[in-house]
Structure 1
Amino acid sequence: MKQSGSISIGISGWTYAPWRGSFYPKGLPQSQELAYASRLFRAIEINGTFYGLQTPEAFHRWAEETPEDFTFAVKAPRFITHIRRLNEPAVPLANFMASGILRPGPKLGPILWQFPPNFRFDAEKLEAFLKLLPHDSEAAAACAKRHDNRLKARAFARIDAKRRLRHAIEIRHESFRDKAFINLLRQYDVALVCADTVEWPRLMDLTSDFVHCRLHGSQELYRSGYGDKALDDWAARVRAWSQGKPMHDGCFAETKRVKAMKRDLYLFFDNTDKLRATRDAKTLMKKLDLFEEDEKRHAHAI
């Protein structure tokens, strides 16, 4: 697709026991699962970072196991979003930045900030948090140097080049259906995650120059798959967004006309429990004429 942003279709996580012998070939060592998955999909979300700080060595290992043009989306710590609930986030944010997320270099993609379902929109608190977010690797390294002693390993605050950092926020409460929220995201250049689920708002407001989608299940959270018609609809949205043609088939908190511009697209399937995530991701890639090329990439998997 000419004059389009990049399109990265992937999965949320890669270490799932039910995938062994079904998605992963029987007998594939667990240590090679990321290498296998990363040669089928252009991007994968790292889930472990949500539950606790990782180490620079872990990030380095993951980067080494994946192709050169691969991208990781990184889930930010629930300690900031769920436990602290954005209260006094400066030091925890520094710890996160120092934990090794800069180690993958060009393979670091969007940082996902997932709010809990009972977290309501608070404009003052949210803006104070957004002001702290670093938007390039130099700012992230400077932030990392303000860490405390809660890291699992030695702090990592080095960069080999100045690169942009992208942030995306996933909301799960109706109070965020507010144009003031959308305006804040646009002001601080943070993407609103388009989260497809029957349990939370699915807002499609475009607030940055990239689009971040998470598909959690069309009928049942984390479990149900996507039929052919639903995947056709998502393929149409992906094409339109990447080519700078905003879609109007969803729900919006703000009706303001957005700038027509090509946008990079990240879409992750999180409906893992019934083995549908990998199937749905591959099907969507085929509909977008992306999978044949990635099959060739997979021929070089270890």
Structure 2
Amino acid sequence: MKPVLSTSSTKRKTAKSPDAPPPVRVGCAGWSLSGRGLQMFEPVGTHLERYATQFSAAEINSSFHRPHKPETYARWARSVPDDFRFSVKIPKVITHEQRLVNAADTLSVFLSQALHLLPKLGCLLVQLPPKLHYEEQVASPFFDMLRAQYDGPVALEPRHPSWFTGDVNSFLVSHRVARVAADPAPVPEAAVPGGYASPVYYRLHGSPRVYYSSYDTNFLERVCGELQHTESGGERWCIFDNTASGAAVPDALELMRMVRPQNAHT
């Protein structure tokens, strides 16, 4: 079975368009609601339904650790507005255990589940382990296989320095894979988007203490400016992964306030 995603909602532009760019999508890794900012959300409904009253995107990280049933993905899709989108993290079995090798069966099973988010599946996220270096004889078969089954947006978060070269960037462009802009960045090049032009995808993990630290207004204003002035005409995402102490939701709400005037005109 080779499900192939190809819908108008996920078509990408690789150059500037005379049309207004799509809205900036802001969200969190997961949709737990607690502590600061909780008063901004509707008091009734599931956590996801309440979360979706304020945010236009969410990153499903739990798929990295365990599989979800197709009906679970379908239920999540029914719980959010029509313009809401999910990104889904590819399982660690594929990236950290199989290390992109001999992963055909695992990938097919994952896609057969995650595609039940359609039409609200916005992106697949591939996060690589820090010690997984770039080898074309490994990366090329894997992304060829992924592209044979899925035609939508893909964002890659590599962490080994070998992935941040001109040749690798060209490889990512040829496979229509965007490189995540991460904070904290494992190498300086990781702080800015790379690879394919869409999606422009920021993952903010918390700095200086990863997963815990919140971001100050100056940092968020800089990220807002980068998102709004990117030359890509495609999707623009910013996901907050500093969830361990509840900083993600208030940080995301602050960034939403910054991007809202521009989103209102798209």
TM over 0.5: yes
Matched, 1:194 2:181: yes
Taking the aligned partners of 2:227 and 2:185, their CA distance within structure 1 comes to 20
Alignment correspondent of 1:7: 24
Amino acid aligned to 2:246: L
Pair 1:114 & 2:103 matched: no
Cα contact 2:212–2:242 (8 A) shared by 1? yes
Deviation at 1:27, TM superposition (A): 11
Displacement, 1:292?
Answer: 9.8
Identical positions, percent:
30
**Following TM superposition, by how much is the alpha carbon of 1:23 offset from its aligned partner in structure 2, in angstroms?**
4.3
| 2:219 paired residue among 217, 220, 230 | 230
Deviation (angstroms), 1:199: 4.5
Query: For 1:144-182, what per-residue CA distance to the aligned partner results, in whole angstroms no more than 9, with x for missing partners?
Result: xxxxxxxxxxxxxxxxxxxx5111110111221221211
1:167 corresponds to which residue? 154
- What is the aligned partner in structure 2 of residue 54 from structure 1? 68
Count the aligned residue pairs: 244
Query: Larger radius of gyration, structure 1 or 2?
Result: 1
> What SS does the aligned partner of 1:110 have?
strand
Does residue 214 of the first structure (1) align with residue 228 of the second (2)?
A: no
RMSD over aligned Cα, in angstroms?
2.4
Does structure 2 retain, via aligned residues, the 8 Å contact 1:196–1:218?
yes
Cα distance in 1 between the residues matched to 2:173 and 2:262: 33
Identify the residue that residue 272 of structure 1 maps to in structure 2. Answer: 243
Gaps of at least 5 residues in structure 2 are 1-18
1:20–1:287 CA distance, 2 compared to 1 (3 A): closer
| Distance apart, 1:5 and its partner CA | 3.0
CA contact (8 A) 1:199 1:221 kept: no
SS in 1 for 2:249: helix
Question: Runs ≥4 in structure 1, deviation > 6 angstroms?
Answer: none
**What's the counterpart of residue 298 of structure 1?**
none
Cα deviation digits, residues 87-108 of structure 1 (max 9, x gap): 1011111111112x12121100
Counterparts of 2:260 and 2:31, CA distance in 1: 23
Q: Relative to structure 1, is the Cα distance of residues 132 and 276 closer, same or farther in structure 2, using a 3 angstrom cutoff?
A: same
Per-residue displacement from partner, 1:63-116 (whole Å, max 9, x unpaired)?
1111111101001111000011111011111111112x1212110011001101
Q: Which runs of 5+ in 1 are unaligned?
A: 141-163, 245-260, 294-302
**How far, CA to CA, are the matches of 1:60 and 1:207 in structure 2?**
29
Q: 1:125 aligns with which of 125, 138, 155?
A: 138
Contact kept, 8 Å, 1:21 with 1:27, in 2: the verdict is: no
Task: Kindly state the Cα deviation for residue 133 of structure 1 after the two structures are TM-superposed.
Answer: 1.2
What are the within-5 Å matches in structure 2 for residues 82-93 of structure 1? 82-93=96-107
Q: 1:199 to 1:192 in 2, by over 3 A?
A: closer
Partner Cα distance (1:27, 1:170) in 2: 33
Would you say the 8 A contact 1:81–1:114 is kept in 2? yes
TM-score, normalised with respect to structure 1: 0.74
2:174 maps to 1:204: no
| Residue 274 (structure 1) shift | 2.4
For the residue of structure 1 that corresponds to 2:27, the secondary structure is strand
Tell me: CA distance 1:202–1:54, structure 2 relative to 1, closer, same or farther (3 Å). Answer: same
Q: What letter corresponds to residue 216 of structure 1 in structure 2?
A: H
Q: Which amino acid aligns with 1:183?
A: S
CA contact (8 A) 1:198 1:218 kept: no
CA 1:82–1:6: 2 relative to 1, 3 Å: same
Cα gap change, 1:291/1:180 in structure 2, threshold over 3 Å: closer, same or farther? closer
What is the TM-score with the length of structure 2 in the denominator?
Answer: 0.84
The DSSP-based 3-state class of the residue aligned with 1:262 is coil
- Deviations, residues 9-59 of structure 1 (Å, cap 9, x unaligned): 1111123xxx43544469967x71010011111000111111121111101
AA aligned opposite 1:233: R
Deviates more, 1:268-277 or 1:202-211: 202-211
